[in-house]
Amino acid sequence: MTSGPTATLLTGPVGASSAPSGRGLGKVGPLGSFIARRVLRLWWSVVALVTMAFLMVRLIPGDPVRNALGTNATPAIVEARRESLGLNDPLWLQYINFWKGLLTWNLGDSFSLRMPVSTIIEQRLPATLELAFLSLAVVLIVSVPLGIVVAALTRGGRRRGVDLAFTSVSGLFTVIPEFLIGVGLVYLFAVQSQLLPVAGRGDASSYILPVLALSIGVSAGMSRIVRVEALTVFEQDYIRTARAKRMSPLRVYLRHALPNLLTASLTIGGIVLGSLIAGTVLVETIFSWPGLGLTIIDSVRSKDYPLAQGIVIVYGLIVLISNLLIDIVLVSLDPRTALKDT
């Protein structure tokens, strides 16, 4: 049996005629059993995330109440405030109370902003999600075609100059941190030329520099991965068969190679999204973007426990849920992936 043109990188040919049996997966079928396992893993990941967020913010040195009330507050006022916030309770009791509040979306009040943490997150989360998902779209749109084109040009050891230029330039941008790219963009397009706004979230032009700062390095790194995967795909039998039938290069790459590369790109996309979410912390600071990234830095500086741990949990949940959805999409494209997940 020969592999069809829709063979995938990760799991073999998609849509092969011999489907695997669903033995041991229960009556719900492979997809249902896979989703159930993934949801169970998600739950344990959430428990670990909440526990780490709860403990880590309490490792920040200093007294958050004294910091919030100022140096002029008397010891009696500070102690009364600590008692009202439950900070004098044993750590295990604070942990249980935190879970109770989390399950009802009551994350307490911010020490510094004196507002419910849930309200602050609801107000500022959209700005962060806009940056992260716009950057992810740019990464996928740029890196996948770029990686395929470079792989097509350099396959079989051809065009050494193109190969050297691509690996050198992409490697350079991969190692430059987002904040340095952001500073460079500000200098070039805001300070020198004054073409784009340097701070704030306003019209469409205000999104350009933050999105570029987040996506340039990640696009360079992902295009290198796509190129390597594309070179592997181009050596598969079904690609060679397509070339032997004298199909046009455009048809070979778009119809036969691209679908399999998209599967790999989706897998990497979950990891990339986590990197972009983390990158918003520094990028939002550089561009004064009113999102959670800028807020979490302020909350750590002010030792604002409720706000810091609330934002960390939201960041983690975004990454975990996004990876769950990507896994479901992948197993929907190729149900045999569910059998490999044990």
Map residue 115 onto helix, strand or coil: coil
pLDDT recorded at residue 70: 67
Q: Using an 8 Å Cβ cutoff, are 213 and 286 in contact?
A: yes
Residue 10 pLDDT level (bands cut at 50, 70, 90): very low
Question: Which is more confidently placed, 10 or 31?
Answer: 31
Q: Using an 8 Å Cβ cutoff, are 272 and 323 in contact?
A: no
What does DSSP assign to residue 256? I
Quote the CA–CA distance of 107 and 306 in Å, as a whole number: 6
pLDDT exceeds cutoff 80 at 317? yes
pLDDT exceeds cutoff 50 at 16? no
pLDDT recorded at residue 334: 63
pLDDT recorded at residue 338: 53
Lookup result for tokens 């390095």: 217
Name the nearest CA neighbour of 313 among 122, 40, 46, 113. Answer: 46
Q: Which residues contact 314 (CB under 8 A, 6 or more apart)?
A: 121, 125, 292
pLDDT exceeds cutoff 60 at 3? no
Q: Which residues contact 190 (CB under 8 A, 6 or more apart)?
A: 196, 197, 198, 209
Q: Using an 8 Å Cβ cutoff, are 284 and 131 in contact?
A: yes
CB atoms closer than 10 angstroms to residue 88:
11
Q: Using an 8 Å Cβ cutoff, are 150 and 223 in contact?
A: yes
pLDDT recorded at residue 68: 67
What CATH superfamily classification does 27-340 receive? MetI-like (1.10.3720.10)
Quote the CA–CA distance of 250 and 204 in Å, as a whole number: 34
Map residue 17 onto helix, strand or coil: coil
**pTM above 0.75?**
no
Quote the CA–CA distance of 211 and 46 in Å, as a whole number: 28
CB atoms closer than 10 angstroms to residue 32:
14
pLDDT digits (tens, 9 = 90+) for 32-54: 777 788 888 888 989 998 898 88
Specify burial of residue 21 (Cβ count, 10 A radius: 0-12, 13-18, 19+).
exposed
pLDDT digits (tens, 9 = 90+) for 167-177: 888 888 888 88
What's the Rg (C-alpha) of the chain? 25
Question: Which is more confidently placed, 95 or 261?
Answer: 95
Specify burial of residue 160 (Cβ count, 10 A radius: 0-12, 13-18, 19+).
exposed
Quote the CA–CA distance of 253 and 269 in Å, as a whole number: 21
DSSP H or E segment with residue 8: strand 7-8
Residue 336 pLDDT level (bands cut at 50, 70, 90): low
pLDDT recorded at residue 9: 38
pLDDT exceeds cutoff 60 at 5? no
pLDDT exceeds cutoff 60 at 342? no
Residue 19 pLDDT level (bands cut at 50, 70, 90): very low
pLDDT exceeds cutoff 70 at 229? yes
pLDDT digits (tens, 9 = 90+) for 233-250: 777 777 777 667 777 766
Percent of the chain predicted with pLDDT > 90: 2
Name the nearest CA neighbour of 264 among 321, 220, 329. Answer: 329
**Averaged pLDDT, 84-104:** 82
pLDDT recorded at residue 13: 41
Tell me the β-bridge partners of 8.
Answer: 12
Q: Which amino acid appears at position 299 of this protein?
A: S
**67 is written with which tokens?**
């910091």
3-state helix, strand, coil in the chain (%, to 5): 75, 0, 25
